[in-house]
Amino acid sequence: MHNVLSRANALLAFTLWVMAAVTAACFLSTVFLDYTVPSQITVKDIKVRSIVDYATDDQQADLATLSFNLKVDFTRIFNWNVKQLFVYLVAEYKSKVNEVNQVVLWDRIVERGERVVMDEIGVKTKYYFLDDGTNLLKHDNVTFVLRYNVIPNAGYLRLVQSTNQIVVPFPTTYSTTRRS
């Protein structure tokens, strides 16, 4: 009446249904949690250089270099459904050409069980802070904000922004040193 294949099929279907129910329960148990944390960001040693941007037909472009301090505690974010965090620092500013400019300056992956309290001092940017024109010099409100993606075991990826951000004015003259 019931051969081995039909019994295996019924067992597999039941197992998949139970796994789907457990995954849904996992997602529903953490979907309404607040994942925002406060951060402390300090930016220092800002230098702006004028360079030739060969990607835009030899036009002048602004290249900024800086270092920053970052202090943030991700301990309360890690629950049993969080596998890791993708943390990144973003600089945002307006220019005449673009209403919103966003540049990712630094990133890090924080995995479960690793150091979840960050106290970074004097960190250099990981990526270039290059403007597509000369909009960084004398800019009076470049906003630095820490953002992170919460990567769960089950559920959707959250994009979360830290509760604190800082606004920093940029220098009024170009840096003339070769190294910055």
CB-based contact 83:110 (threshold 8 Å) = no
Query: Domain residues of the chain, as ranges?
Result: 1-32, 34-168
- Reading the block at residue 4, the tokens are 């081995």
Query: What pTM does this model have?
Result: 0.84
Who contacts 107 (Cβ-Cβ below 8 Å, separation ≥6)?
86, 87, 88, 89, 126
* pLDDT recorded at residue 120: 93
CB 73 within 8 A of CB 41: no
Q: What average pLDDT does this structure show over 85-90?
A: 97
The reported pLDDT for the residue numbered 179 is 56
Q: Tell whether the model's pLDDT for residue 55 goes beyond 80.
A: no
Helices (H), 89-147: none
Looking at 2.60.40, 1.10.287, 1.10.3470, 3.30.379, the CATH number of the domain 34-168 comes to 2.60.40
| The pLDDT of residue 127 is above 80 | yes
pLDDT of residue 180: 46
- CA dist 170 and 54 (Å) reads 24
> Is the pLDDT higher at 53 or at 151?
151
pLDDT digits (tens, 9 = 90+) for 60-75: 889 999 999 999 999 9
For residues 174 and 180, give the distance between their C-alpha atoms in angstroms, rounded to a whole number: 11
In the numeric block, the tokens 């960190």 are attached to 123
Please provide residue 12's backbone torsions phi and psi, each rounded to the nearest 5 degrees.
-65, -45
Task: Quote the pLDDT of residue 177.
Answer: 65
